[in-house]
Structure 1
Amino acid sequence: EMLTEVRLPVLPGAGSAYEKVERKAGDWAVAAAGVALTLREGRIAEAGVGLAAVGAGALNLHAVQTLLNGSEPSEALYEEAGRVASDSCSPVTDGRGSAEYKRHLAGELTRRALRRAVARAGRPIGSTAREA
């Protein structure tokens, strides 16, 4: 037997995004951020936010999630979430970049992933439009 298809229902109001900076395609991340969220009545009902390659404690950012849950999406909220994400990580300087650069990326990638996840959550169910 061979598995040929998997179908997963898309939850209404759900969106997710993953943003990564790498030195070259397929390389390990210099920094990365992932967001999964659900919008209900114009507010973020549930959010999961995580970072990669910026320190061991950044896998699940409870402080950012607490900030987002119950909030109305806005640029000001994304900015604050990026600041909290940046403050919550503890990257080390290595061949991919300095700790300061990685901390900056953590904030910026969190903002970008939030924007994209919110946009995807607002897309009508059944839409097949793809983002660049």
Structure 2
Amino acid sequence: MKKTEEGFQLSPSDLSNHLGCAHLTQLNLAAVEGKIQKPKWLDPSLAVMQERGLQFEKDYLDYLRKQGISIAVPGTDNIEKGFERTLSEMRKGVDYIYQAWLETDDWSYTQTRLPIVTYADGGRSAISVDG
């Protein structure tokens, strides 16, 4: 969860965690607002899993590139720019957009960003792919 000028930016994990424990959402909100300190998690196995996950993603993208598949990475932490770059890459017709930005106005807090691997067909469709 992040505080932005528009309100709060929620991640998919924030939404999933809320379903398991609504109180956790209140604690995260208090931490983002500076009312409490966010706990520090020191789990060595988590760091190893994170490293392996990042390596897997890199290897997968390298595999796709070797297959001749074009890949775009919109990047940026800015919601509007990330969404615009994702749309631009879709219009260009790239084969895959890694960590595409999607948004919805359905959340009252702010627009939600969902970083996912996406297939783009000339700007006409995007299909989420679980890795």
TM tier, smaller: under 0.3
Normalised TM-score (structure 2): 0.25
Which structure has more helix as a fraction of its residues? 2
Q: Which structure: larger Rg?
A: 2
Which structure has more strand as a fraction of its residues? 1
